[in-house]
Amino acid sequence: MTVNLLDFDLEGLAAFCEQLGEKRFRATQLFRWIHHKGASDFAQMTDLARSLREKLPAAARITGLPVLSRQDSADGTIKWLFDVGDGNAVETVFIPEDDRGTLCVSSQAGCAVGCRFCSTGHQGFSRNLTTGEILAQLWQAEFFLRQHLNRPGERVITNVVMMGMGEPLQNIHALIPALKVMLDDHAYGLSRRRVTVSTSGVVPMIDRLAQECPVALAVSLHAPNDPLRDDLVPLNRKYPIAELLDACLRYLPAAPRDFITFEYCMLDGVNDTPEHARELLKLLREHGGRGVPCKINLIPFNPFPDSGLRCSPRAVVQRFGQILNEGGIVTTIRKTRGDDIDAACGQLAGDVLDRTDAARRLAQRRAVEQPIRFVTPHPERQA
Ligand code: SAH
Ligand code: SF4
């Protein structure tokens, strides 16, 4: 059985080369072929020491994930559905903007946290992705996009957000080496502030991330008090808000930015009143005495079948944001991208076993939704 070299950070690859009886430094060359040039064939690596090149095919391979589908949104967003075996699939989304290209990467097939407003959470948990499966999403997307967008040799993906399917901090073992490859100059060379881990609040793992690989941190808060958060994000029963905010304060000295981003999904009649906004403001400005340095990102809820929830009206989202901004916390409203291909936050389901049914449901929804969209275009699109 060969090992997949996408599973290694540079340190791991060096140890692997040593096992093959090669000098550790040869790993750097190999690593660059893989992550700078997108090579998957050892024969291509002409400047690699011959001894190593000859040993590699018997011991190793460089393989990505089978692509089950690719969908291109009218706004340039691209979504891939990757097969990870045993009837599971994960989704990866590329979001182009004027000055950057962001890849939204999955960390698990399904998710065990089970947030009420999240399609992945409703699907349940299948398994953790390996480091190689996390990195394959980046590796495949980057080298596909360079060709597709006709930008050879240029970096297309400038930012990575771990905001796809799954709770990255419940898979920290595979996550850390993957983050290291994203940051490594011999690989993708992204700065720490351009790599964001988003978490629903796995407190001990926030500390571990600070120690092992601090990158930008986004925390999915969604509620200003424990009873409401217990209901929306069940993990809150284990790590309540005060403990989570303490972990944020401990994270900040190691963080590449001097603030934490709090994500707040706007749910009609659930967590979106002016009182909720004022409670949130007080919580974040006063926690621990001096408050938590932060920004808030309001995410209009993206509906999915059977969620039983609705998005707050645009005016309610704006009013909520206004209260926070006036109270001194910089608050933005996330623009929805790629919703015509169900690529928006929380819409990622990717369960192959359920595909036929999902495709049917999707077709039904489209049939209902499209005419409405002609009459009242999606408010986010107009922004
Ligand atoms: N598990 C991690 C990262 C993946 S979810 C986390 O929860 O942070 C990425 C973001 O999408 C989170 O902020 C999550 O709360 C949000 N999200 C989930 N479902 C959503 C939905 N239906 N509409 C809008 N945002 C959603
Ligand atoms: Fe899991 Fe994040 Fe979805 Fe919650 S929002 S179920 S933590 S993926």
pLDDT for residue 341: 76
* Nearest Cα residue to atom 2 of ligand 2: 167
Ligand 2 atom nearest residue 108's Cα: 8
**Environment class of residue 361 by beta-carbon count within 10 Å: exposed (0-12), middle (13-18) or buried (19+)?**
middle
Pocket test for ligand 2, best of 90, 107, 108, 120 (most atoms within 8 A of CB): 120
pLDDT range class, residue 286, cuts 50, 70, 90: very high
CA distance 116 to 338: 22
Bridge pairing between strands 3-4 and 60-61: parallel
Residue 361 scores a pLDDT above 70: no
CA of 105 to the centre of ligand 2 (A): 13
The whole-number average pLDDT for the span 238-246 is: 98
CA 293 to chain CA centroid, Å, is: 22
CA of 218 to the centre of ligand 2 (A): 13
* Cα torsion through 46, 47, 49, 52, rounded to 10: -50
pLDDT for residue 64: 98
Ligand 2 atom nearest residue 346's Cα: 3
Q: Dump pLDDT digits (tens) for 137-165.
A: 999 999 999 999 999 989 999 999 999 99
pLDDT for residue 383: 24
pLDDT for residue 358: 40
**Ligand closest to the CA atom of residue 123:** 2
Ligand 1 atom nearest residue 111's Cα: 1
pLDDT for residue 344: 64
Residue 360 scores a pLDDT above 80: no
Q: Of 271, 260, 263, 329, which Cα lies nearest the Cα of 297?
A: 263
Q: Dump pLDDT digits (tens) for 102-114.
A: 999 999 999 999 9
Ligand 1 atom nearest residue 222's Cα: 15
Of 148-162, 248-262, 362-376, the one with minimum mean pLDDT is 362-376
**Ligand closest to the CA atom of residue 111:** 2
pLDDT for residue 365: 34
**Environment class of residue 155 by beta-carbon count within 10 Å: exposed (0-12), middle (13-18) or buried (19+)?**
middle
Residue 366 scores a pLDDT above 80: no
Half-sphere exposure of residue 236: CA atoms within 13 angstroms, side-chain side? 21
Residue 67 scores a pLDDT above 80: yes
**Ligand closest to the CA atom of residue 199:** 1
CA of 168 to the centre of ligand 2 (A): 9
Residues lining ligand 2, Cβ inside 6 A: 111, 113-115, 118, 120-121, 166-167, 200, 220
CA of 121 to the centre of ligand 2 (A): 5
Q: Provide the 8-state DSSP code for 270.
A: T
The whole-number average pLDDT for the span 84-100 is: 95
Q: Residues 6 or more apart from 217 whose CB is under 8 A from it?
A: 196, 197, 199, 206, 209, 248, 251, 255, 260, 261
More confident residue, 352 or 107: 107
Q: How much of the chain exceeds pLDDT 90, in percent? A: 84
Pocket test for ligand 2, best of 92, 167, 196, 271 (most atoms within 8 A of CB): 167
Q: Dump pLDDT digits (tens) for 321-347.
A: 999 999 999 999 988 777 677 766 556
CA of 349 to the centre of ligand 2 (A): 11
Q: How much of the chain exceeds pLDDT 70, in percent? A: 89
Bridge pairing between strands 125-128 and 67-72: unpaired
Q: Provide the 8-state DSSP code for 354.
A: G
Sign of CA dihedral 222, 227, 230, 236: positive
Q: Count H helices and E strands in the chain, helices first.
A: 13, 14
CA distance 103 to 120: 18
pLDDT for residue 372: 21
Ligand 2 atom nearest residue 165's Cα: 8
Residue 353 scores a pLDDT above 60: no
| DSSP code string of 328-342 | T--EEEPPP--GGGT
Pocket test for ligand 2, best of 91, 107, 113 (most atoms within 8 A of CB): 113
Q: Provide the 8-state DSSP code for 267.
A: B
The whole-number average pLDDT for the span 193-206 is: 98
Residue 26 scores a pLDDT above 50: yes
More confident residue, 218 or 382: 218
Q: pTM for the whole thing?
A: 0.91
Greatest pairwise CA separation for the chain in angstroms: 68
Residue 36 scores a pLDDT above 50: yes
CA distance 6 to 139: 9
pLDDT for residue 151: 94
Active site residues: 91, 345
Q: Of 262, 333, 274, 336, which Cα lies nearest the Cα of 303?
A: 336
Phi-psi region of 150 (alpha: psi -120 to 50; beta: other; left: phi over 0): left
Pocket test for ligand 1, best of 265, 268, 312, 335 (most atoms within 8 A of CB): 265
pLDDT for residue 350: 55
CA of 220 to the centre of ligand 1 (A): 7
CB 64 within 8 A of CB 140: yes
**Environment class of residue 315 by beta-carbon count within 10 Å: exposed (0-12), middle (13-18) or buried (19+)?**
exposed
Residue 375 scores a pLDDT above 90: no
**Ligand closest to the CA atom of residue 112:** 2
Ligand 1 atom nearest residue 304's Cα: 22
Q: Residues 6 or more apart from 168 whose CB is under 8 A from it?
A: 107, 108, 162, 175, 197, 198, 199
pLDDT range class, residue 349, cuts 50, 70, 90: low
Residue 24 scores a pLDDT above 60: yes
Residues lining ligand 1, Cβ inside 6 A: 117-118, 163, 167, 198-200, 220, 263, 265, 299, 301-302, 345-346
**Which structure tokens are listed for 216?**
């930008």
